[in-house]
Amino acid sequence: MDASVKKIPLTIGSHSYNIVIGSEILSTIDFSSVMLSPDKTGYVVSERVWGLYRDYISQVFSVKDAGDFIVMNDGEENKNYRYAEQFFEWLLGKGFTRKSMLVAIGGGVVGDFAGYCAALFMRGIPVVHVPTTLLAMVDSSIGGKVAVNISAGKNIVGVFYQPAMVLSDVRFLATLPDGELKNGITETVKHALIGESSLLAMMLNHDLKSIKERDTLEEIIYLSAGFKAGVVCEDEKESGRRAILNFGHTIGHAIESVMEYRGISHGEAVAIGLKGAMEISREMGFITREDVSVFDECARRYELLNSEHRFDPADVIDHMKYDKKNYGGRINFVLLKSLGVPQFDCEVPEDVLKHVLSGL
């Protein structure tokens, strides 16, 4: 493997796989170790990615039958239970079996959807993730959480299902719009705030322009993905420490649900959630205004907060009640005891929550 290629090994229970990071790596990776001699390979590809990189994808995977591709409109609203049923029927109609496998090429929606379908089809077939957005490279492709949405909320129906490999080829980021780039930056900022100090230093030394340099992107992906991988390896099924990765997401997911996943990106919603979690942590006496200003500086450098979004705090609180992390009749938050020191399962007084949400 080329020396410039970065590799993060994961061992989760009895399952081991690699996250591979680099530029133009799809054409240099030996897939034989993970392909398991499938009788058929199906490719679930983002519609936008297919339009931009069809020749590259077809060449890399030596595709002989274009009919084994399903091109997916990767809007969050399409990651649903009904579409999954149609996909299962497509797989059966194409002759896929328990010895087949899937390759997911796209952002988080495609990865979640293909991973969910791979986990359930014939009680489980292998899946390889090829994330094509920064958000997917640093977050959704890592750790095996796959799901679909229902009307009550996001990712309500899902399973833990580890991939055979994750291949993060930064070539795909060359055409990534700034809005999508910021979605991923929000997650890297989250990882930086909850424990990856080297990443925090990098984020505070760059801006939206300089972060796009290939070497910088590769290092940020390596640090951010490596941090999440370390947490996931300790706690695959979120029975303990993995819950820290939900920092900012309790509020963020609720805002997405209130807005029906329209008019706001995942990154924008989580950025608001991160601001909220920081302010709650301050209101609870855990961190200082100076600590909050660290997030504010990141948000300024990367233009993460959009003041045009409006929502009713009461509606957001109602939607928080559907969060999968809740139990015992209360809303559970991840807060910061100090920068880099997260605490999960925190109960927040309702008056504090309402005050912070009104301020947002």
Active site residue 123: yes
Integer Cα distance of 270 and 184 in angstroms: 10
Instruction: State the catalytic residue, choosing from 154, 182, 190, 253.
Output: 253
76 carries an active-site annotation: no
Would you call 256 a catalytic residue per the annotation?
no
Is 187 an annotated catalytic residue? yes
Strand-pairing partners, residue 128, are 103, 165
Residue 306: Cβ-neighbour burial (10 angstroms; 0-12, 13-18, 19+): middle
Annotated catalytic residue within 79, 242, 275, 282: 242
Other Cβ atoms less than 10 A from the Cβ of 67: the count is 9
Decide if 238 is catalytic: yes
Beta-strand relationship, 101-106 and 145-150: unpaired
Q: Where are the beta strands (DSSP E) in 116-221?
A: 127-131, 145-150, 153-160, 165-169
Question: Which pair of tokens denotes residue 296?
Answer: 């504010």
* Cβ neighbours of 335 (radius 10 Å): 23
How far is 187 from 214, CA to CA, in rounded Å?
18
282 included as an active-site residue: no
Tokens 């990856």 label which residue?
196
User: Could you say which of 6, 129, 228, 301 is catalytic?
Assistant: 228
Catalytic residue from among 149, 183, 246, 332: 246
CB count in 10 Å sphere of residue 360: 17
Quick check: is 190 catalytic?
no
- 6, 79, 145, 301: the active-site residue: 145
Which is catalytic among the residues 266, 275, 282, 301?
A: 266
Distance CA 128, CA 203 (A): 29
From the list 190, 206, 249, 282, the catalytic residue is: 249
Please indicate whether residue 228 is annotated as part of the active site. Answer: yes
Active site residue 15: no
Helix (H, G, I), strand (E, B) or coil at 306: coil
Catalytic residue of the set 180, 238, 256, 283: 238
Whether 289 is a known active-site residue: answer no
Q: Rounded distance, CA 12 to CA 70, Å?
A: 30
Q: Which residues are catalytic?
A: 123, 145, 187, 228, 238, 242, 246, 249, 253, 266
